[in-house]
Amino acid sequence: MEVLQAYWHQIIFIIGLIVVAVKLSAQVKTLERDLAHLTKRDTYVEVVKLIAQVDQLQSQNAALWDFTNKLRDKFNGNH
């Protein structure tokens, strides 16, 4: 009992540190999980945007080739 009376401040402090460490660890795990989820979602959004851009570029490329072919036919005399 004398040990508890002599060191009760240190014992309470150590118990408090353990509680804070456990809470911080749980919060870090939650934040890591949330970050992983956001990263997946952001990656999906970026992929969807890139797919839309590629589709747009492909249609523009096809339009340019059609225009080029029409100009070639016009210069060659083929209507």
pLDDT of residue 46: 86
Q: Is the pLDDT of residue 77 over 90?
A: no
- The per-residue DSSP string of 11-26 comes to HHHHHHHHHHHHHHHH
Q: Which amino acid is at 61?
A: N
Task: Measure the CA–CA gap between 60 and 49, rounded to whole angstroms.
Answer: 17
Q: Which two tokens stand for residue 74?
A: 């016009």
SS3 string, 56-74, reads HHHHHHHHHHHHHHHHHHH
Task: Measure the CA–CA gap between 56 and 64, rounded to whole angstroms.
Answer: 12
Q: Where are the beta strands (DSSP E) in the chain?
A: none
What digits encode the pLDDT tens for the residues 3-50?
Answer: 778 888 898 999 999 999 999 999 999 999 998 888 888 788 888 889
